[in-house]
A and B are shown apart, each in its own frame.
Chain A
Amino acid sequence: MAQPFTLAHIGYMLDGLLWTVILSALAFALGGVAAFGVMLLRISRFRAVRLGAFVVVQIIQGIPLLVILFAVYFGLGIFGIQVPPLAAAGIAMMIYSAAFLAEIWRGCVEAVPRTQFEAAECLALTRWEALTKVILPQALRLATPPTVGFMVQVVKSTSLASVVGFVELTRAAQIINNSTFQPFLVFGIAGALYFAVCWPLSAWSRVLERKLHVGRH
């Protein structure tokens, strides 16, 4: 019969929360590096490169993360490698966050006034120098609020890793619910734990956004 819900269950969920945070950090770090590369392709001088990167991003954004996750999980499996769920989830989340972050960052780079590019060119800076010394420092300021906002999205999406058997917070809650059968309590606590991670990030993103607009009004 159903077990009573005890403190040990909460400890198990906190363990799951730790893995949620680890997976989120991994996905965000890997995705960020990949997104930077994709963003560079998106603003390339060559039309074909820009177009190619655009199509790839549109494709990834048009497929559910869950399907990407299954495709990576089973796709790596056919090489005969038994993929640990953490690796499958990490790679899938990397692909997903790279597509979205690249678009966010491209928007920020293009929001830097055109005259800044032109001034950099007049000073005989190379394209790379202009980008790293003039454009990116300004784009970084614009990019921080939406990037922090996207981190919330990443944390929430890690819940999908539960379907390939990775024991993060959602999977931990499912396992506990299977033995105690108190869904309101178990998923309520899990939701509260997600909220405890995500809400400070959302609030931080809003504060950054407000600071950014102070100078303009």
Chain B
Amino acid sequence: MKYKFDFGALVEYWPQLLDGALVTLEMTAISTVSGLAFGTLVAIGRRSHNRALSRLCGAYVETVRNTPFLIQLFFIYFGLASAGLRLPVFVAAVIAMVFNVAAYTAEIVRAGMDATPRGQLEAADSLGMSTPQIYWHIVLRPALERVYPALTAQYILMMLATSVTSQISVEELTGIANNVQSNTFRSFETFIVVAVIYLVLTLILKLAFWLLGLALFTRRRRLGTSL
């Protein structure tokens, strides 16, 4: 193999790559928080006794889960632009991500809620708790604790999926990488470096979610039992 690796050409672009990584983290943070809130509402709607609402939430979840994120992104970005609403790429990308990740969140949270033991619901009822109280204390909070590992795995996959938004020219890590490789003609090296940065981001997120889990779920820490 005659190819000579030259990572030196990338040194001057290092600050740009770090900026890109920050944009990636920023998008991930916004979509995690909004996606969790919106997805939980959809999960509650899906379990509602109102059939129309339940069907609507089900249709939304199935549509998102059975079409590629790239198509959803183009649909929202180019679609809204053609309807006269020209959003900045960053905003369009975050809207598409929340729209996408909320559906997966809804499915995961719903599974956690469905696992609530009947006896606990009956006990709460006989203690005279109101429906919102039951939902918050008996259904939702234990459900979130139960599905926390699945949820965080999904949000890490979503962080990786932010790379797709480079296709509507968001300047996140992959978008920056595309600029760098066309300036330096060091395509292979660029993507090796970017792959390593993504790997580090994944590890950071895993660690952060683990620490957050310890802080949030004190019951598990004290008793050491899973729900």
Contact = CB atoms under 8 A, between A and B. Distances in A.
Interface of A: 59, 61-68, 70-71, 74-75, 77-79, 152, 156-160, 162-163, 170, 173-174, 177, 181-184, 187-188, 190-191, 194-195, 198-199, 202
B68 interface: yes
A156 B75 contact: no
Give the size category of B's interface with A. 35 or more
A79 B1 contact: yes
Q: Is the interface of B mostly helix, strand, loop or mixed?
A: helix
Interface in B156-185: 160-164, 166-167, 174, 177, 181
A194 B188 contact: no
Contact of B71 (A59, A70, A159): A159
Contacts of B83: 184
A16 B62 CA distance: 23
Contacts of A162: 70
A202 B65 contact: yes
B141 to A, nearest CB: 27
A174 B69 CA distance: 14
Contact of A64 (B68, B74, B160, B203): B160
Interface stretch (B47-55, B124-132, B193-201): B193-201
Nearest to A61: B202
Contacts of B174: 64, 66-67, 70
B198 A62 contact: yes
Interface of B: 1, 3, 62-63, 65-72, 74-75, 78-79, 81-83, 160-164, 166-167, 174, 177, 181, 187-188, 191-192, 194-195, 198-199, 202-203
Nearest to B178: A70
B191 A187 contact: no
Nearest to A157: B68
B62 A202 contact: yes
B33 to A, nearest CB: 21
A169 to B, nearest CB: 8
| Pairs of residues from A and B, 7 with the lowest C-beta to C-beta distance, nearest first | A183-B78, A74-B187, A62-B202, A159-B68, A64-B163, A198-B66, A64-B160
Nearest to B62: A199
Given A71-B191, A79-B3, A157-B68, A66 B163 contact: yes
